[in-house]
């Protein structure tokens, strides 16, 4: 492990879990594309490349600070189980001071709320709702809903829905059309959220956490995830959303393999492929998004290799 002072400073950036910004960003941008009727993938390849839209960039920065804040709160609440699961060890193994991490999280929350006022009060209240649900209700007593199997999945799905909402609100207000068009994304997100409980099953069980996978087991969790994915696929065809239809069809191979094999590695691979292909589809609408993906991916890879001699991130099912 390297002790370079400059690389240690990056601990306070990577404790925000930047690789997990992409699922949130992807869903936010999808909300924007659906609201603006720009979710026709193949038409846009020839008619309207969009490299940057200022409002979308601002929304991404706002959501990045909100997500980073909540990811730190989550680690502060999960120190024991994260250490046993051999992941998210920056706080648990004292590379990042707990008190400073808490201060960083609070500052990021305040920044996200302040910047959201550049849109309007509704946008700020939506960000506040995300922070309260994701940062507090999900992690801490008296609710600590992540340790309640059904509530944990409901809240994870709601987090994804709020990400979609933040993209939609750039263009339009909440309406019946919004609810209908967001449904495939909600079920898609719920399917993936279920899978995220599988790799941590042993560590969660040993620390008394009652996640969906701990409660119902890996095989049943995978089957239910496959069912939620199927609902998303059907709904995406019903409302003819080309974006989510394409994503679900591309992901079909990995989901079928996962349901047949019902292994932890296949579940992890499905999660990674879903995030990767979602990001690639976003790049068809925002080509410069690819530069952001590559930059954060290889910066993360370099940081974890130099700092901890650890191969992360990777596309392997681990």
pLDDT score recorded for residue 218: 93
Residue 45 pLDDT > 50, yes or no? no
The pLDDT confidence band at residue 163, using thresholds 50, 70 and 90, is: very high
CATH of domain 5-308: 1.10.600
pLDDT score recorded for residue 183: 95
Q: Are 135 and 175 in contact (CB under 8 A)?
A: no
Q: Is the dihedral of CA 6, 7, 8, 13 positive or negative?
A: positive
Q: What's the predicted TM-score (pTM) here?
A: 0.90
Domain boundaries, the chain: 5-308
CA proximity to 312, closest of 12, 5, 20: 20
* 239-282 per-position pLDDT tens digit: 989 899 999 999 999 999 999 999 999 999 999 999 999 999 99
Residue 41 pLDDT > 60, yes or no? yes
Residue 150 pLDDT > 90, yes or no? no
Name the H helices within the chain. Answer: 5-9, 11-14, 21-35, 41-47, 54-77, 79-84, 89-92, 98-116, 121-131, 149-168, 176-196, 201-206, 212-216, 218-238, 242-261, 264-285, 289-308
CA proximity to 36, closest of 22, 51, 53, 24: 53
pLDDT score recorded for residue 166: 97
Q: Are 76 and 113 in contact (CB under 8 A)?
A: no
Per-residue pLDDT averaged across 41-66, rounded? 76
Q: Are 1 and 307 in contact (CB under 8 A)?
A: yes
Question: Within the chain, what is the greatest distance between any pair of CA atoms?
Answer: 55
Instruction: Give percent above pLDDT 90 in the chain.
Output: 59
* 179-194 per-position pLDDT tens digit: 999 999 999 999 999 9
């Amino acid at each position: 492990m390297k002790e370079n002072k400059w690389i240690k400073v990056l601990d306070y950036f990577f404790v925000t879990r930047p690789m997990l910004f992409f699922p949130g960003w992807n869903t936010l941008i999808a909300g924007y594309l659906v609201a603006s009727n720009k979710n026709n993938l193949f038409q846009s390849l020839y008619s309207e490349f969009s490299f940057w839209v200022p409002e979308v960039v601002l929304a991404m920065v706002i959501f990045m600070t909100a997500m980073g804040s909540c990811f730190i709160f989550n680690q502060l609440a999960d120190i024991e189980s994260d250490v046993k699961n051999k992941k998210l060890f920056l706080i648990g193994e004292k590379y990042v001071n707990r008190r400073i991490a808490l201060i960083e999280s609070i500052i990021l929350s305040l920044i996200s709320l302040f910047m959201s006022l550049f849109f309007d009060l509704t946008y700020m209240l939506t960000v506040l709702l995300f922070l309260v649900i994701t940062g507090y209700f999900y992690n801490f007593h008296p609710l600590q809903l992540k340790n309640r199997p059904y509530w944990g999945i409901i809240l994870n799905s709601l987090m994804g829905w709020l990400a979609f909402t933040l993209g939609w609100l750039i263009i339009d207000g909440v309406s019946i059309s919004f609810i209908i068009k967001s449904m495939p994304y909600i079920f898609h997100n719920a399917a993936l959220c279920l899978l995220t409980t599988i790799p941590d099953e042993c560590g969660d069980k040993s620390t008394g956490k009652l996640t969906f996978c701990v409660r119902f087991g890996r095989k049943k969790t995978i089957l239910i995830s496959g069912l939620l994915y199927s609902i998303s696929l059907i709904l995406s065809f019903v409302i003819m959303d080309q974006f989510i239809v394409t994503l679900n069809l591309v992901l079909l191979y990995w989901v079928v393999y996962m349901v047949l094999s019902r292994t932890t590695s296949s579940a992890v691979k499905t999660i990674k492929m879903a995030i990767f292909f979602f990001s690639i589809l976003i790049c068809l609408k925002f080509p410069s998004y690819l530069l952001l993906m590559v930059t954060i991916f290889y910066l993360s890879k370099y940081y974890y290799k130099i700092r901890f001699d650890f191969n992360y991130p990777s596309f392997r099912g681990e």
